[in-house]
Chains A and B, each alone.
Chain A
Amino acid sequence: MTGTYATVITVVALLFAGWTLICAAMNRRPTLLLFAAAVLLEALLLGFAVGGIVQMAGSDRHFARAEFVGYLLGCLAIPPLAFYWARGERSRSGTLVIALAFLITPVMVLRVQQVWAGSVG
């Protein structure tokens, strides 16, 4: 997996997470701007997934391919799930759920890279 693109996703997700946590600290419910941020991250993750699968298809290396695809799809599922679960919440907790989604994304990206590198566990 190309490191630069994954690093960009990680940095963007962590910046969004910090911003979202500040929003939660200020007692804000999820805003449209937050939703736009999640859409941007989702677009980056889509590129990551497509790129990853293309690279996998072009590789002869032996690694856990099913797990690799599973984690890539897992990355993609997180932001929509977070917004689905945060909807209708009338407190800052909805915002915190979105923050969790942003925080967990770098972990998932790291797992994708670990699987790609072959250290399955």
Chain B
Amino acid sequence: MVDPGVADPGAGHTPAPTGQGFGRVLVAIYGIFALAATSRSAVQLATEFDKAPLAYLLSAFAAIVYIVATVSLARKGATSRRLATVAISIELVGVLIVGAASELFPSIFQHPTVWTGFGSGYLFVPLVLPFVGLWWLRHTR
């Protein structure tokens, strides 16, 4: 999709869709994390919110970030691309900050989120995923 709002160095250059080829697999992985984080946070918020409000609000926040990243990567167009860049950047900052905070202040993070311990509960995929996502956005530009 050509975005009229952005000055394009190569005239008539159309960025490749982010949801095809390797992007199919990437969107599927993001979708799995959207599903995992959403189901986890839905139950946490519904049943045990009082136990660890910070951890469970973080879970819900992570879930929203993954949902936005999944949908915007799957869709075509410059707006989706920009939205995906923002979401994945937030994801990167989130996993780094929450990962570091959970190592430094373990007492606050006794109730796990998807980003606790840099995603160690999910084979560190949450740590690797934003790097791959940002690389893919650059690669398809």
Q: Which residues of A are in contact with B by a Cβ distance under 8 Å?
A: 64, 66-67, 70-71, 74, 81-82, 85-86, 89, 91, 93-94, 96-97, 100-101, 104, 120-121
Contact = CB atoms under 8 A, between A and B. Distances in A.
B43 A97 contact: no
Nearest to A68: B43
A100 B28 contact: yes
Chain B: number of interface residues, binned into ranges? 20 to 34
B16 interface: no
Interface of B: 20-25, 27-29, 31-32, 35, 39, 42-43, 46-47, 74, 111-112
Contact of B39 (A71, A82, A97, A121): A71
A31 to B, nearest CB: 17
Contacts of B24: 85-86, 89, 91, 93-94, 96-97
Chain A interface mostly: helix
Contacts of A101: 28
A120 B43 contact: yes
22 contacts: A67-B47, A70-B43, A71-B39, A74-B35, A81-B31, A82-B28, A85-B24, A85-B31, A89-B24, A93-B21, A93-B22, A93-B24, A94-B24, A96-B28, A97-B25, A100-B25, A100-B28, A100-B29, A100-B32, A101-B28, A120-B47, A121-B111
A78 to B, nearest CB: 8
A85 B26 CA distance: 11
B112 A74 contact: no
